[in-house]
Amino acid sequence: MDEELNNPKYEIPPEIQHQVAITTVDKIYNWSRRNSLWPMMFGLACCAVEMIGAAASRYDFSRFGMEVMRASPRQADVMIVSGTVTKKMIPTIVRLYNQMGEPKYVVAMGVCASSGGPFKEGYSVVPGVDRFIPVDVYIPGCPPTPQALLYGLMALQEKIDQQSIQTVRWYKKGDSSPIPIPVLGPDLMDPRDFDLIKRRAQENLQMEEQVSPTNIEEADSHVG
């Protein structure tokens, strides 16, 4: 066990030094968690290829505890969102996130996952996965190099070091409701926004009623 972890404020009798270690619960808990972060085997787009590159022999992220990639969300600790998140895919991603057991972390790899990236303006791209699920670490780059991914994962480890079991989300009472799964309607719909959508649709209706016949064409083309 490393020096930092074994940081007793108590005096240990000389005869059992090196046999007994005293530390805090937080520290031992965080230490064991940060060193076995299993990513979910889950590739979305181009960034996934660099993620595979980071797992392969030249970069090899298992040196840092990202030992095995797991295809099942139930066995994974960290979801690396590696690529463009589309409207068609986001219900699945949210479902996968809900299926992961706590404690769980999300890394947004690349600009697409962080904000939509080069495809942000597109009609079927979600501008950032953080619109739906909470993200712990953002890694810029298109695609981020494997080194950048490693750095991001180490940043996540540092973040874990800062946590305390008194305040973490998953030991709190009544805070475990899953994230509502988005619905594919005429466009993507977040169930949390239904009221807003209704209001907007009403406004659209009123607008359409108001426009004079000469403007109708313009409004039509706008709605598509």
Partner 1 sequence: MLVKTSSDGIKDLLSRYGDSLLADTRPGFGGYFIKTEQLVPFCRSLRDEAGYDYLSSVTGVDNFPEDQMEVVYHFYKTIGGPAFVLKVQASRHETVIPSLTPLYPGVEFQECEAWDLLGIRFEGHPDLRRILMWEGFEGFPLRKDWREPFFEDENKPFKSRWPDGHVLRTEEENPYKNNVQYPAAFDPDQWIPAGDAALYEGLLSLTKEGQSDFKTDHIVVNLGPQHPSTHGVFRMVVALEGETVLSLKPVMGYLHRNHEKIGERNTFVQNMPFTDRLDYISSMSNNFGYALAVEKLMDVHPPERAEYIRVIMAELTRFLSHIFSIGFLLNDLGAFFTPALYAIEERELILDIFEAASGSRMMCNYFRFGGVVRDLPDGVLGKIKDLVIDRLPRKLDEFERYLTKNDIVRVRCEGVGVLKIEEAIGLSAAGPVLRASGVPYDVRKADPYSIYDRFDFDVAYGLHGDIYDRYLVRVEEMRQSLRILKQALRDIPGGAVMNGKPQYQVRVPAGEAYGRVEGPKGELGFYVISNGKPNPWRYHVRAPSFINLTSLSTMAKNQKIADVVALLGSIDIVLGEVDR
CB of 45 vs ligand SF4, minimal distance in Å:
4
CB of 113 vs ligand SF4, minimal distance in Å:
7
Query: Choosing among partner 1, ligand SF4, none, which partner's interface includes residue 111 (Cβ < 5 to 8 Å by kind)?
Result: ligand SF4
When the beta carbons of 37 and 85 are compared against ligand SF4, the nearer one is 85
Please report, to the nearest 10 degrees, the dihedral formed by the alpha carbons of residues 46, 70, 177, 158 taken in order: -80
Q: How far apart are the first and last CA of the chain?
A: 63
Please, are residues 29 and 166 in contact by the beta-carbon 8 Å criterion? no
Binding of residue 94 to ligand SF4 (CB under 6 A): no
Q: Which of 40, 41, 45, 93 binds ligand SF4 (CB under 6 A)?
A: 45
Segment interacting with ligand SF4, rule: CB under 6 A, options 6-14, 20-28, 43-51, 185-193: 43-51
When the beta carbons of 30 and 84 are compared against partner 1, the nearer one is 84
**Pairwise CA distance, residues 59 & 43, whole Å:** 18
Binding of residue 142 to ligand SF4 (CB under 6 A): yes
As beta bridge partners, residue 107 has 80, 137
Please, are residues 124 and 87 in contact by the beta-carbon 8 Å criterion? yes
Size of the site for ligand SF4 (CB under 6 A): 12
CB of 158 vs partner 1, minimal distance in Å:
26
Please list the helix, strand and coil fractions of the chain in percent, rounded to the nearest 5, in that order: 45, 10, 45
Binding of residue 80 to ligand SF4 (CB under 6 A): no
When the beta carbons of 20 and 142 are compared against ligand SF4, the nearer one is 142
Q: C-alpha 190: how far from its chain's center?
A: 17
Binding of residue 117 to ligand SF4 (CB under 6 A): yes
**Pairwise CA distance, residues 187 & 140, whole Å:** 28
CB of 15 vs ligand SF4, minimal distance in Å:
57
Which residue in 43, 106, 114 sits closest to 79, CA to CA?
Answer: 106
Binding of residue 110 to ligand SF4 (CB under 6 A): yes
When the beta carbons of 95 and 159 are compared against partner 1, the nearer one is 95
Planar angle of CA 157, 117, 41, nearest 5 degrees: 45
Binding residues for ligand SF4 (CB under 6 A): 45-47, 83-84, 110-112, 117-118, 142-143
